[in-house]
Structure formats: C-alpha cells, structure tokens
C-alpha cells in the first residue's frame, strides 16, 4: 500500500518537473494593435521563461506586436533547459527606418541554448530604407531582422520574414542549428537583403524553405563547416552562394557543405562560389551541389574569383588567395538566361582543383550554352551540356 502511494507521488513529481510553463505576452501587457511598443512585455516573458526551471513556452497569440527598438534575448544566466516561442502573431518594426537602422540586429538571440521559434512573422518594414539607399541620400546601413549569435541547439520552424532592412537571418558562431519551413519575402530589387547568412558556424541545417529577395537567398561566409541545405526554392535573388570570401588576409575556411534539391527561379546566380581578388589564406573544400533545377538563371553554375558587385571599388589589381578544391556539381538541369551557363573563373594565384561535373544539362534559349574555364582543373562525367571545359 505504502509502495503504491510512493509510486503515485513519484509519478506526480515527475509530471510536475517536466511540465511546461507558459508565459503569454498579452497577459504580460503586450497590445496587439501594432502601434504600442511591446518590447517590455516580450522581455518580461523572456526573463520569466529564462528563470524557469522547467521548459518554458512564450506564447505570442495572433495580432501585430510593435517592437519599437532592437531587442536581445540573452541566455547567459538562463536556468530553463528549453524555451519555445509559440508564435501566431506578427512582430513589426517601426515604419521609420531610423528606429532600428543603426543597430546591427533588430531581434537577437544571444548566447542561448535549446531555443525554438515556431510559426509567426517578422515584418521589418524595410521598404523606406531601400528607397533611401537607392536615392543616393545618406541613410543608415540597416539592421538584420533576426540574428542568432553564439548559440546552440536552435530551431527556427515555419517562420515568415518580410522586407528586412539588411539580411533577414544571420547565424553567427552557432552550432547545431536548424532552420526549416522558413519563408522569406522581399523585393528582388532590395539591396543586401540576403535571406540567410551564415558565419563561423558548424552543424547548420536549412530545410524546406522558400526565399525571394534582392540578394543571396543563402550566403555562406568564412568559417562555416558541416552545413546541410536541402529543398530550398530561391527566386528572385542572387542564388545560393559560398562567399564572399577572402576579404581578410587571415580568414577561416569553408568546408563540408552540401546543397541538395534546390530550385532557382529567375535568379542572378544558381550555385555560386565568390571570392574577392585579394590576398588571403582562406579556403573552400569538400562541397557538394547536387540535384538543382534552374529556370532562366543568369549564371547557373559559377565560381567567381574576382567578385566585384556593381563593378565598384574592387581590389582587382590583385588575385584571390582563397584555395578552392573538391567541389562537385551533380545533376544540375534547366535553363540559363545567358549563354555562359557554366563558368569557372578561378584565381591565377590559387587555381581551383578537384572540380567535378556530373550530369549537367543546361540550355540557353536560342543558342547552345557554353562553358568557360580559367585556372580550373577537375573531372567531368555523365551527360554534359554544355560540354565541359575542365
């Protein structure tokens, strides 16, 4: 009999200790009219969740929540083993771009572990800043919408991001982070609005996402390794890029990146590696680009060793020092919007090696497509249209 009670008691204790606690931002004072600043309610919810000894949920019911200035969710002192933002609502930035335009990031996760953001929308209202930039006036640089910095075990799921001032998502110095079902929407003419930018991170997975923007859909900067990207649709945009690399003389390399099952619609590039023409000890190695569909893409397959956006202010008196080796392009098919569908413009100073082409079938409307190689060595097999220049 006593044993039975003890078992029941233990069971209840176990239930209690693993039960989730929920903090609702509306209960904590957030107005859902999109006009009253709700930053304090979000910080209250975060601080409660963070101090909780059980896994915590931050509930964000439907509605519009103005976050009027940059906000950081810092995890350094958290007790909670896991925090989930259960989002139905939309977080909006102020319509005046100066409010966040000089901050690096609008919404930042900083030194957190086991944080999930599920659902919801982040609307940065970047339009007026893009207009300012294109007018040639002096404007702030603009903020990244969502920055995930120095964090581990992060899941971003089914989040929608609209009209960022700069990058939509920046992942910096993170490990074991997954982004899935992310939907990013900005104008194809918006400047520097990369969809997802990775720096100095390892074990990053990006799945089932759709990105339409004015710069790279995904860009993989220095110091990244073990990245898996699968089922991404990109367009408009500048494609999925490794780079830009080699700006610094001392620079961490990029290795073990897989980009699989992608579709590019009307993009400037498809699968790209870009390096500045500068001295650098950086490198790119062990890259697999596999199973891609190109629809009217200007440069479907491109290694650009003299990257120079808008042909302005580039160090083109030098050559890139970044060593590019062991890069596979496999099962890439569709249409190119220019005649040079495959372009390997590598560096005279450190030529590309171990480039592998297998089953590439790209057509250019009207004329046969061509490939162009400089300082590129490797092998080719399977169906190759245009024929290989390696």
Ligand X SMILES: *[C@@H]1O[C@H](CO)[C@@H](O)[C@H](O)[C@H]1NC(C)=O
Nearer to ligand X, 49 or 218 (CB): 218
Using CB under 6 A, which of the segments 102-110, 165-173, 226-234, 354-362 binds ligand X?
A: 226-234
Cis peptide before 389 (omega within 30 of 0): no
Contact flag: residue 187 with ligand X (CB under 6 A): no
- Number of Cα atoms under 13 Å in the Cβ half of residue 206: 32
Q: By three-state DSSP, how is residue 5 classified?
A: helix
CB of 228 to ligand X, least distance (A): 4
Pair of tokens at residue 253: 């390399």
Instruction: Give alpha helix (H) positions in 62-146.
Output: 98-101, 127-135
CB of 171 to ligand X, least distance (A): 14
Strand bridging mode 33-37 / 144-149: unpaired
CB of 325 to ligand X, least distance (A): 15
Contact flag: residue 228 with ligand X (CB under 6 A): yes
Using CB under 6 A, which of the segments 23-31, 140-148, 224-232, 277-285 binds ligand X?
A: 224-232
Contact flag: residue 258 with ligand X (CB under 6 A): yes
How many Å separate Cα 21 from the centre of its chain? 31
Known catalytic residues are 238
Q: In this structure, what DSSP letter does residue 217 have? A: S
Q: Token pair 């350094």 is at which residue?
A: 76
Which of positions 264-323 make contact with ligand X (CB under 6 A)?
none
Torsion over CA: 237, 312, 201, 190 (sign): negative
Torsion of CA 142, 77, 172, 82, to 10 degrees: -110
Which of positions 238-257 make contact with ligand X (CB under 6 A)?
256
Burial of 228 (0-12, 13-18, 19+ CB in 10 A): middle
Using CB under 6 A, which of the segments 70-78, 190-198, 221-229, 353-361 binds ligand X?
A: 221-229
302 vs 318: CA distance, rounded Å: 20
Using CB under 6 A, which of the segments 78-86, 225-233, 356-364, 375-383 binds ligand X?
A: 225-233
Q: In this structure, what DSSP letter does residue 388 have? A: P
108 vs 212: CA distance, rounded Å: 22
Nearer to ligand X, 279 or 356 (CB): 356
2 φ, ψ (degrees, to nearest 5): -60, -45
Nearer to ligand X, 171 or 227 (CB): 227
Contact flag: residue 113 with ligand X (CB under 6 A): no
Nearer to ligand X, 185 or 207 (CB): 207
CB of 205 to ligand X, least distance (A): 7
Nearer to ligand X, 118 or 286 (CB): 286
Nearer to ligand X, 204 or 340 (CB): 204
Contact flag: residue 121 with ligand X (CB under 6 A): no
Near ligand X by CB under 6 A: residue from 24, 183, 199, 226: 226
Residues found near ligand X in the complex (CB under 6 A): 226-228, 256, 258
């Amino acid at each position: 009999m006593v044993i039975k009670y003890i078992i029941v008691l233990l069971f209840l204790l176990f239930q209690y200790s693993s039960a989730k606690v929920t903090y609702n931002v509306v209960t904590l004072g957030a107005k859902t009219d999109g006009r009253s600043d709700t930053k304090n309610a979000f910080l209250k919810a975060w601080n409660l969740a963070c101090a909780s000894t059980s896994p915590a949920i931050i509930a964000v019911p439907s509605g519009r929540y103005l976050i009027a200035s940059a906000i950081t969710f810092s995890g350094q002192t958290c007790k909670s083993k896991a925090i989930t933002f259960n989002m139905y609502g939309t977080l909006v930035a102020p319509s005046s771009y100066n409010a966040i335009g000089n901050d690096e990031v609008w919404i930042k996760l900083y030194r957190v572990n086991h944080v999930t953001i599920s659902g919801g929308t982040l609307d940065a209202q970047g339009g007026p800043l893009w207009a300012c930039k294109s007018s040639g006036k002096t404007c702030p640089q603009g903020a990244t919408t969502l920055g995930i910095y120095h964090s581990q075990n992060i899941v971003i799921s089914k989040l929608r991001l609209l009209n960022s001032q700069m990058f939509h998502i920046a992942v910096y110095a993170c490990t074991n982070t997954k982004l899935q079902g992310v939907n990013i929407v900005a104008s194809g003419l918006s400047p520097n609005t990369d969809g997802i930018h990775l720096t100095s991170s390892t074990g990053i997975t990006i799945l089932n996402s759709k990105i339409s923007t004015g710069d790279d859909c995904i860009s993989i900067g220095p110091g990244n390794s073990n990245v898996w990207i699968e089922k991404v649709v990109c367009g408009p945009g500048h494609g999925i890029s490794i780079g830009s690399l080699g700006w610094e003389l001392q620079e961490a390399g990029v290795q073990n990146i897989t980009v699989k099952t992608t579709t590019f619609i009307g993009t400037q590039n498809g699968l790209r590696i870009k390096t500045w023409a500068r001295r650098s000890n950086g490198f790119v190695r062990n890259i697999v680009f596999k199973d891609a569909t190109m629809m009217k893409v200007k440069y479907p397959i491109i290694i650009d060793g003299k990257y120079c956006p808008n042909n302005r202010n580039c160090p083109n008196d030098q050559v890139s020092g970044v060593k590019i080796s062991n890069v596979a392009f496999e099962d890439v098919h569709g249409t190119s919007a220019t005649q040079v569908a495959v372009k390997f413009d590598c560096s005279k100073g450190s030529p590309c090696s171990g480039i592998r082409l297998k089953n590439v079938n790209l057509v250019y409307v009207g004329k046969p497509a061509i490939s162009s190689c400089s300082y590129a060595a490797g092998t080719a097999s399977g169906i190759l249209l245009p024929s290989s220049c390696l």
